[in-house]
Amino acid sequence: MATQETNYEGVWDGRLGFGEKAAVISIDLLQGYTTEGSALYAPGVVECVKQMPDFLALVREKGVPLIHTQVRYTTPNYEDGGVWIKKAPVLKDLVEGNPYAEFCEGVEPHEGEVLITKQYASAFFGTSLVATLNALRVDTLIITGCTTSGCIRATAVDAVQHGYRPICVRECIGDRHDGPHEANLFDINAKYGDVISKAEVMEYLQGL
């Protein structure tokens, strides 16, 4: 019986690499995912947030476009959440005024950085992200944030389908359980983009 790796070897293990110009996206690093007692709490996101400050500092130092996303719904009926919020009512905490919907300390957007508000998993769905990346002449999207099995995967899939090179930074991505986290990183790397180490991405950034 072949292992998972050998089964995919030579078939689903291509590498895209970096293109000519990259942007970084930091997806939904909100306090609901890092606060114990929150229904959204995800230990992997706690670890992800710890890895982000020095990474973001280098991104800013090098002048790489940095885009942040947040989820927001409209009370009291959450109609902008559509069917998805019926499937995942835990997301109802992500409304204006709820501390769980605020950015985690150390990963907040800085003045002048693009902030996209979304209601669904993909950072592309129903947002201006494609127009923004095209205006910046970006061909590579470096993906960080949470959660691996939800918004990260959906964004990586949409990125490649829109013609961008998705690069997922392993240490800067988190989920609520290692099983879905690792399975989705494996699948993204096999079929949609590259999953590489923080050190490798920072080496690329240092070389700009």
Q: Show the DSSP H helices in 26-128 as ranges.
A: 43-61, 84-87
User: CA-to-CA distance for 145 and 3, rounded, in angstroms?
Assistant: 29
Q: Collapsing DSSP states into helix, strand and coil, what is residue 44? A: helix
| Measured CA distances, 2 to 6, 7, 8, 199 (Å) | 6, 6, 9, 30
- Whether 151 is catalytic: yes
Residue 74: how many other CB atoms lie within 10 Å: 12
The active-site residue, picked from 146, 151, 168, 172, is 151
* Lookup: tokens for 150: 């939800």
Point out the residues that are catalytic. Answer: 151
